[in-house]
Amino acid sequence: MIAAKPTDFIQTEIEIAKYAKALAHPARIAILNLLKARNTCICGDIVDELPLAQSTVSQHLKELKSVGLIKGDIEGTKVCYCIDDQKWEQVQVLWNDFFKHFNLGKMKTDVQLKEIVKQKYSEIALQEKEVNQSSCCGAGGCSTEVYNIMTDDYTDLLGYNPDADLGLGCGLPTQYAKIQKGNTVIDLGSGAGNDCFIAREEVGETGNVIGIDFTTAMIEKARINAKKLGFTNVHFLQGDIEEMPVESNVADVVVSNCVLNLVPNKEGVIKEIYRVLKPGGHFSISDVVLIGELPENLQKDAEMYAGCVAGAIQKEDYLALISTNGFLNISVQKEKPIIIPDDILSKYLDNAALEDFKNGNTGIFSVTVYAEKPVIL
């Protein structure tokens, strides 16, 4: 006997479609990102930030409010809009149940992984520093157990600028980089310019600092910071660090802070560092490495990749990449363990897997590595 054809869609399908329709416009996504960053906004605030007329913004707000994704509270003569956290928790559960059937959120191709990182770090550019510090490189959920998971304190370094410090990174590469007056320094994954401005203090007015980042939001933020500081010898270029938009043999020093682990093609970056360094130049790079194997769920999760953990490779493999690509005098300048709090790990591991991970031999470390390009090639 043939089963009767259903007369309607199930409620879950209707709910998912409702939210998908409400989000199906880039302006609404931009509005939600703005509300997330600022907590609350009036319509005029959004008009000031986005290339939209007030009537258009009002219509988008109405659509988002109609499905409960945002709330509007009357304060005097104005309506203040904010994210409805309770509703978003319900939507997240709904979407997670839907997506898990398609095995999404797992490790993607190199191109897809780079897009995940680009999207996440565009969001991070708008987040508060405290949010980034209490998570893994600004990605994933924040921890309630600790204030600072990976980052080191920059505040005592000369040239430090708080507007450029997003609380990212896993070390202090510029502190160990042996930068001299008049040097040309390249910073890979320069973000809002934190390490570039520290390097500028070291190179002085006669040197040059080049920051490279592939995220538009970060480049814009860094350029604004440089303009505020009045620097004319600090430049920010948008591009991939596997194909740097600079000529060969131009840099005395290359620095980077917790970036190579975000790049699938790590050897490609090492080769590029070698290309752009002058003969006799050197690099100092802080990064995340492993000793032992991560649990499979951490290895395969895209969000943890954007959080600097799942993209890390074995420490011995990392050092071998540097050696086999022609660098000399390789040394680990600093090493420290990274402890990921239980409330973050529990998002990816069940209780048994969490205990096995904590009691096993796997270690996650921040290392700062130094190496030199030969003088005679």
The answer to the question of residue 52 being in a domain is yes
Asked whether residue 236 falls in the same domain as residue 326, the answer is yes
CATH code of residue 29 = 1.10.10.10
Residue 125 lies inside a defined structural domain of this protein: no
Residue 192's pLDDT is what?
85
121 lies in some domain: no
298-316: per-residue pLDDT in tens? 665 544 544 456 577 889 9
Q: What pLDDT is stored for residue 105 in this prediction? A: 45
Residue 253: which H helix or E strand, with range? strand 251-257
Q: What 3-state DSSP class applies to 13?
A: helix
CATH number at residue 318: 3.40.50.150
Same domain, 15 and 91: yes
Same domain, 91 and 169: no
Domain count for the chain: 2
Quickly count helices (H) and strands (E) in the chain: 15, 11
| Shared-domain flag, residues 223 and 364 | yes
- Is position 308 within any domain? yes
Its domain, for residue 319, covers: 162-372
Give the chain's residues under pLDDT 70: 1-8, 99-156, 159, 164, 166-169, 296-310, 360-361, 377
Please give the model's pTM, rounded to 2 decimal places.
0.62
Residue 41 maps to a domain: yes
Strands (E), 60-194: 70-75, 78-83, 184-188
**Considering the domain boundaries, does residue 316 fall inside one?**
yes
Q: What is the pLDDT of residues 231-245, one digit of tens each?
A: 999 999 999 999 999
Which is it for the CA torsion 358, 289, 178, 256, positive or negative?
Answer: negative
CB 327 within 8 Å of CB 372: yes
At 109 the pLDDT is 61
